[in-house]
């Protein structure tokens, strides 16, 4: 199965513009809110202004008589609509506590933004205006904002649970009992660090939007949603609403970004469906931007305690990690599993003995629920180990790149059976690090730093790095089973060669900006020898693509793309039988290249795919017993995760008077194995790096002590714009994955995973000479200035 030799490819590996872009850039592409649905009712939701409060009374009389209003519902009035609570698909432990969570709160609200009342009206403005006429009386309770204070259970959010702790999840791997503790006792060097992963607001360009269209006589319902997961949503919506699954169709039209925030089953999707059925009319909802900041899941939200032990040469001897993970008020679809996705990566790219002790508490707060956000657990883990490695280098007074080199898993060790029992498929960390160091002029920067960073320097120079490993391509179904995940990790594809030799590739992945249509057509073209322009990719509609597990976790290419290659193989196998029949030879005597079957050694005896496609369609002359038509379905369950890796470096200057940071150079060396379309890879790295850099320097969901979100507009929540980010130098090494036939790994999250620690390490590097050893994220000018001030006082 291994294909390490990529040189024979003629389509795969070429830089190509995305076929999706003309429609997106000209406005031709239709998003959920662009759909024309005559007679649709508009849903607006009154949300809680309090983080934690009991609902005493709700008066909807004025809203009901407001012009255009059709109906107003409280949570209690809709309770009969639900066959069960909203789903959490990842009960990470057997005793995990999961409070019932319904689309509207009935008795109490648990975060600012919790839905309280639903208004249906004939227009969006009418439903919005009616919200201002609803009176809700609350008894305000104490907010629980700090994740560590929440553990004290001084104020319990969900009384029936008796605690604010949802679960404790452990991963302790010891060669001999007690060896972690011994390693710390015997360590020549050790570090003990605390890091805070601030909450982030996913800000997809397109906010969420939903439209549910019922067919009242048949009972069927079609849900349009700006979602990453039409397939999973179909199952979960059917279960939550008690509708037979075969009557539910979910379509994700053009989707303008997700970053994990649309990997969820949301209250508004269920409300639109329930109310559409109740009223027999289409019901639609579109999120306002400020609503998005509190009603869509948040990312990150962890406090990390990381300890490293090392011998006198700096070789790591043990890793100990304690995580306090902020679940928010409820468990959304995979909320509890997010920290677990990082749990295996706190040793990073380093060769450590079986001395690893990880534990995570999942904790409820009265804030918006958290869930997967680009990287989901892995950026957090990478940040912790890579920041701690810099701390260890400072402790040992050695160069951080040198410390990493002493600990890298060596390329000869791959496939590498890690302490955790997981096998890292392939890698060459030293090569990636040295390439990044060369591009960043690591040696030159160190020399310049020695000259520039003198006492009193107004501009201090820093260089930081992060060598990352990503566990992605979710995922082998059996491994997911061992983690208690509620679904498999396979992906399905159908390749259908039409009578005129045009091709439909049907995929279960659900693109929302990644360029799947381009990349999937390239894979099929390479395999079938049929021009890309003759290949269409169909997706994101459960009636057209009934089988699929959607797009997240950098899985689409290493699982879904490989499934397409497998379906192409099955098509070729069948075509080969037809070709052999026509050429009156044995199938084994045929070779297939450039879309043509020919007899080995007799290239003039040949038949092109076009002739086979038509023959398969007419079925006039097929081998006995062979089904007509040329189509195959293939479902691929990967044998392993894919393990992209790389090293990022950042050179920056800190203005010590103001705390302002200027990035001078950002180098990203990423290895995602074989690249299908290097232009798309580069775009994914650019976007990913900027999202990581945004966490490092700009973005933070700020709450006050009463649990009010203070960053509800894009004036306060600082998503960087093009003018605020550096030009990025991208480069690659190519280490094919041996576990799939394309040799590919995922790349959607890699940039984000590498970037935040790279930038923060550079900031600390610039300022370590003035006593700064810790920099909170985001490293805003004020935070940098304060760190310099307090270090100066301490010195």
Nearer to another protein, 504 or 780 (CB): 780
As measured in angstroms, the least distance from the Cβ of 635 to another protein is 42
Of residues 565 and 760, the one with the C-beta less far from another protein: 760
List the one residue from 698, 740, 753, 772 that touches another protein (CB under 8 A). 698
Strand ranges across the sheet with 535-538 = 535-538, 503-507, 491-497, 630-636
- The first and second tokens of residue 720, run together, are 């960087």
Tell the smallest beta-carbon distance from residue 760 to another protein (Å). Answer: 16
Reported as type and span, the H/E element at residue 670 is strand 661-671
**Which secondary-structure segment (H or E) carries 505?**
strand 503-507
The yes or no reply on residue 792 touching another protein (CB under 8 A) is no
Alpha carbons 385 and 758: distance in angstroms, whole number: 11
Listed ranges 149-157, 239-247, 261-269, 775-783: which one lies at the site for another protein (CB under 8 A): 775-783
In the complex, minimum distance from the CB of residue 688 to another protein, in angstroms, rounded to a whole number: 20
Site for another protein in 112-141 (CB under 8 A): 124-125, 128-129, 132
**Interface with another protein, residue 290, by CB under 8 A:** yes
CA angle 754, 764, 355 (to 5 degrees): 60
Say how far apart CA 311 and CA 299 lie, in whole Å.
36
> Residue 287 and residue 775: Cα distance in Å, rounded?
35
**289 touching another protein, by CB under 8 A:** yes
DSSP 466: E
Which of these, 483, 411, 475, lies nearest to 642 by C-alpha position? 475
* Residues facing residue 355 across a β-bridge: 174
Q: Does 205 bind another protein (CB under 8 A)?
A: no
Residue 590, C-beta contacts closer than 8 angstroms, at least 6 positions apart: 576, 579, 580, 583, 597, 598, 599, 600
Q: Of residues 711-770, which lie at the interface with another protein (CB under 8 A)?
A: 711, 713, 715-716, 718, 720-721, 723-724
Per CB under 8 A, the list member of 305, 592, 614, 785 interacting with another protein is: 785
**Cross-sheet strand order for the sheet of 53-59:** 108-109, 53-59, 135-140
The 235-274 contact track toward another protein, x by CB under 8 A, reads: ----------------------------------------
From the list 463, 312, 289, 316, the residue with the least C-alpha distance to 396 is: 312
d(C-alpha 319, C-alpha 481), whole Å:
26
Q: Select from 197-205, 265-273, 333-341, 655-663 the region that touches another protein (CB under 8 A).
A: 655-663
Q: Among 245, 402, 657, 662, indicate the residue that binds another protein (CB under 8 A).
A: 657
Judged by beta carbon, residue 124 or residue 749, the one nearer another protein is 124
Distance CA 537, CA 520 (A): 7
Q: What is the DSSP letter of 541?
A: B
Among 499, 726, 769, 781, binds another protein (CB under 8 A): 781
Among 21, 288, 533, 627, binds another protein (CB under 8 A): 288
- By CB under 8 A, is residue 533 in contact with another protein? no
By beta-carbon proximity to another protein, the closer residue of 42 and 158 is 42
How far is Cα 588 from Cα 576, in angstroms, rounded to an integer? 9
Nearest residue (CB) to another protein, 215 versus 660:
660
Bridge-partner residues for 558, per DSSP? none
Number of residues that bind another protein (CB under 8 A): 28
Please work out, in degrees rounded to the nearest 5, the angle formed at the alpha carbon of residue 548 by the alpha carbons of 486 and 516: 125
Bridge partners for 31 per DSSP? 254
Nearer to another protein, 396 or 689 (CB): 689
Which of the residues 58 through 77 are near another protein (CB under 8 A)? none
- Part in contact with another protein (CB under 8 A); list of ranges 285-293, 569-577, 588-596, 601-609: 285-293
Take residue 627 and report the two structure tokens written for it: 């089904």
Tokens representing 747 are 């790349």
Q: Can you name the residues that pair with 703 across neighbouring β-strands?
A: 709
176 is a site residue for another protein (CB under 8 A): no
Residue of 532, 660, 768, 773 interacting with another protein (CB under 8 A): 660
Which parts of 153-295 fold into alpha helices (H)? 179-186, 230-241, 267-279, 289-295
- Nearer to another protein by Cβ, of 587 and 718: the residue is 718
Which residues contact another protein by CB under 8 A? 124-125, 128-129, 132, 288-290, 657-658, 660, 698, 702, 710-711, 713, 715-716, 718, 720-721, 723-724, 780-782, 785-786
């Amino acid at each position: 199965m291994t294909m390490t030799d990529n040189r024979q490819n003629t389509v795969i590996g070429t830089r190509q513009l995305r076929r999706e872009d003309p429609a997106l850039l000209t406005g031709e592409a239709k998003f959920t809110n662009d759909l024309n649905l005559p007679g649709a009712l508009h849903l607006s939701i009154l949300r809680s202004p309090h983080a934690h409060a009991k609902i005493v009374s709700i008066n909807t009389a004025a809203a009901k008589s407001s012009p255009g209003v059709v109906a107003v519902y409280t949570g209690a009035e809709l309770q009969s609509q639900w066959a069960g609570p909203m789903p959490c698909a990842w009960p990470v432990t057997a005793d995990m506590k999961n409070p019932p969570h319904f689309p509207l709160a009935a008795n109490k609200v648990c975060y600012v933004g919790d839905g309280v009342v639903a208004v249906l009206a004939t227009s969006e403005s009418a439903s919005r205006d009616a919200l201002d006429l609803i009176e809700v009386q609350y008894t305000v309770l104490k907010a629980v904002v700090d994740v560590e204070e929440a553990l004290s259970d001084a104020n319990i959010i969900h009384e029936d649970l008796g605690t604010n702790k949802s679960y404790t999840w452990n991963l302790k791997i010891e060669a001999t009992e007690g060896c972690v503790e011994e390693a710390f006792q015997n360590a020549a060097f050790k570090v003990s660090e605390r890091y805070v992963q601030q909450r982030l607001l996913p800000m997809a360009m397109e906010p969420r939007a939903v439209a549910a269209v019922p067919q009242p006589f048949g009972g069927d319902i079609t849900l349009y949603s700006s979602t990453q997961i039409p397939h999973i949503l179909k199952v979960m919506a059917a279960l939550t609403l008690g509708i037979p699954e075969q009557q539910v169709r979910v379509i994700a039209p053009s989707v303008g970004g997700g970053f994990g925030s649309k990997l969820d089953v949301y209250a508004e999707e269920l409300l639109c469906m329930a109310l559409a059925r109740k009223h027999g009319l289409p019901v639609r909802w579109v999120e306002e931007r400020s609503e998005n900041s509190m009603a869509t899941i948040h990312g990150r939200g962890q406090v990390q305690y990381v300890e490293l032990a090392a011998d006198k040469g700096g070789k790591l001897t043990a890793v100990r990690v304690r995580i306090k993970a902020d679940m928010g008020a409820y468990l959304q679809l995979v909320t509890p599993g997010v920290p677990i996705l990082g749990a295996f990566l706190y040793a990073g790219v380093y060769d450590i003995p079986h001395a690893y002790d990880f534990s995570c508490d999942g904790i409820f707060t009265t804030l918006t629920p958290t869930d997967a956000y680009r990287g989901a657990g892995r950026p957090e883990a990478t940040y912790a180990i890579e920041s701690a490695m810099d701390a260890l280098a400072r402790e040992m007074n050695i160069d951080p790149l040198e410390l990493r080199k002493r600990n890298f898993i060596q390329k000869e060790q791959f496939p590498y059976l890690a302490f955790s029992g997981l096998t890292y498929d392939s890698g060459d960390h030293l090569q990636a690090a040295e390439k990044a160091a060369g591009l960043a002029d690591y040696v030159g920067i160190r020399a310049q730093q020695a000259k520039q960073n003198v006492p009193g320097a107004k501009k201090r120079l820093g260089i930081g790095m992060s060598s990352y490993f990503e566990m992605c391509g979710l995922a082998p179904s059996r491994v997911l089973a061992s983690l208690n995940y509620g679904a498999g990790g396979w992906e399905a594809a159908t390749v259908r060669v039409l009578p005129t030799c045009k091709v439909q590739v049907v995929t279960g992945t659900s693109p929302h900006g990644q360029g799947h249509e381009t990349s999937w057509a390239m894979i099929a073209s390479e395999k079938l020898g049929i021009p890309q322009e003759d290949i269409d990719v169909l997706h994101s509609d459960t009636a057209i693509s009934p089988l699929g597990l959607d797009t997240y976790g950098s899985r689409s290419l290493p699982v879904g793309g490989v499934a397409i290659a497998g379906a192409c193989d099955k098509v070729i196998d069948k075509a080969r039988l037809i070709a052999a029949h026509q050429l009156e030879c044995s199938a084994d005597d045929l070779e297939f290249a450039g879309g043509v079957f020919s007899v080995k050694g007799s290239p003039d005896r040949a038949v092109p795919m076009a002739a086979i496609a038509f023959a398969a369609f007419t079925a006039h002359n097929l081998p006995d017993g062979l089904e007509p038509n040329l189509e195959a379905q293939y479902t691929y369950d990967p044998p392993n995760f894919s393990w992209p890796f790389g090293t990022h470096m950042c050179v920056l200057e800190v203005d010590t008077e103001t705390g302002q940071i200027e990035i001078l150079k950002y180098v990203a060396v990423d290895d995602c194995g074989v690249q299908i379309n290097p232009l798309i890879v580069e775009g994914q790295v650019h976007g990913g790096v900027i999202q990581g850099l945004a966490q490092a320097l700009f973005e933070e969901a700020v709450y006050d002590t009463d649990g009010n979100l203070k960053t509800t507009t894009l004036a306060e929540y600082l998503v960087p714009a093009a003018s605020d980010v550096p030009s990025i130098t991208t480069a690659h090494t190519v280490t094919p994955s041996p576990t799939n036939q394309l040799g590919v790994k995922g790349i959607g999250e890699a940039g984000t995973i590498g970037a935040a620690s790279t930038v923060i390490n550079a900031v600390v590097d610039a300022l370590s000479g003035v006593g700064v050893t810790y920099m909170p994220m985001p490293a805003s000018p004020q935070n940098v200035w304060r760190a310099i001030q307090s270090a100066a006082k301490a010195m």
